[in-house]
Amino acid sequence: MGDRDSDTNVPTWGTSLPVDNVQEMVKRNPSCVLERYILDHNDRPNLSPTHASSDVPIIDLSLLSNGDEEELKKLDRACIDWGFFQLINHGIAEELLQRMKDASSKFFNLTFEERNKYAMTSDDIHGYGQAYVVSEEQKLDWSDALILSIYPLNFRKPKFWPTSPPELKDAIEMYSQEVSKISERLFRSLSLVMGLGQNSLLELHKEPMQFLRVNYYPTCSMPDHVLGVSPHSDTSSITILMQDDDVTGLQIHNNGDWVSVRPIPNALVINIGDVIEIWSNGKYKSIEHRVVANKNKARMSFASFITPNQDVEIEPVDEMVHVSTSLRLYKKIKYGEYLRASTTKKMEGKAHTKIIKVESE
């Protein structure tokens, strides 16, 4: 099959053109920002501090898991009004969060030659590099990323897993296991607020997939001319993000504004991805977000994408389709096909979701 690695039967999800390493570019010449990164005027971020703080809801996972009615209501509102929330009392030890950050920080402090041993190859969008680059003309993001397939285990590609620093592999392993547990707890609560049996969302995933994207955002001398990550929505069912405790960068689209998600130490940022938008028939939206660059401080973030198995056919669940209208806003599609279609274009807001939208007459 064309979309499988010929030797190992491990699926691939697309390809991306090779681009310069941003961290190295900045190291060589901190003041230089190449044309390929400078956005058209309309696409540039407004960095004035008017929206520096945020009202993104805070949700307590221990309360959710105890079935606390108030907290479940808050979760429902957060998913309707924001598509994003900060998760506290999630149960991952602070020490493990720190270990993941420290080990990754060591990775990005290796020489470029060392880091580049895990470079994205021409036949894949995993590894160390930049994804969603499909033309020489498109604007590029001011960041580098290490992208790995974590689950199922047999989808791993060992050649992309750094062996240096030696503790990184273990940190990723332990952190990802914990993230997976959190995702299961969240799916139970989300099932309940969607009016489903508590195991429904979990069962809909079949054997879930999990991808990790470790993002590194170097400093930029012209932060108002570039973006760390351009606006997009995630192709996941949910994304669990650990962000830097003291560098703000993530912004989400809310009521026509870009709102910064102010870091809360040890909290995780959760967002609804395209798949929950589809399953919920649009009740919960997969919200556009972006990352702005910073003049003085580099930033790291860790995005874990939870998705259904590639073979799962995704479509609105019956319980979320209005009996009176029986209107389904999304077409049925196999998840693997959806994911592969999304990597053939540059990420531009929600443009990649067009293939599953039912056109309203």
Partner that binds at residue 126, options Ni ion, ligand OGA, none, CB closer than 5 to 8 Å by kind: none
Rounded least distance, CB 303 to ligand OGA, Å: 4
Going 163 to 304 to 316 to 277, the CA torsion angle's sign is negative
Q: How far apart, in whole angstroms, are the C-alpha atoms of residue 72 and residue 75?
A: 5
Q: Which residue lies nearer to Ni ion by CB, 234 or 244?
A: 234
Interface residues with ligand OGA (CB under 6 A)? 213, 215, 229, 234, 241, 243, 249-250, 289, 291, 301, 303
Contact call for residue 288 and Ni ion (CB under 5 A): no
Q: Which residue lies nearer to ligand OGA by CB, 126 or 213?
A: 213
> Residue 51, CB half-sphere, CA atoms under 13 Å: how many?
18
Task: List Cα–Cα distances, 172 to 67, 94, 145, 184, 244, in angstroms.
Answer: 30, 14, 15, 18, 16
Query: How many secondary structure helices (H) and strands (E) does the chain include?
Result: 9, 14
Partner that binds at residue 213, options ligand OGA, Ni ion, none, CB closer than 5 to 8 Å by kind: ligand OGA
Partner that binds at residue 283, options Ni ion, ligand OGA, none, CB closer than 5 to 8 Å by kind: none
Contact call for residue 234 and Ni ion (CB under 5 A): yes
Partner that binds at residue 127, options ligand OGA, Ni ion, none, CB closer than 5 to 8 Å by kind: none
Rounded least distance, CB 290 to Ni ion, Å: 8
Q: How far apart, in whole angstroms, are the C-alpha atoms of residue 314 and residue 174?
A: 29
Partner that binds at residue 250, options Ni ion, ligand OGA, none, CB closer than 5 to 8 Å by kind: ligand OGA
Contact call for residue 277 and Ni ion (CB under 5 A): no
Question: Which residue type sits at 116?
Answer: N
Are the C-beta atoms of 307 and 236 separated by less than 8 Å? yes
Q: Which residue lies nearer to ligand OGA by CB, 64 or 278?
A: 278
Q: Give the strand pairing for 209-217 and 229-232.
A: unpaired
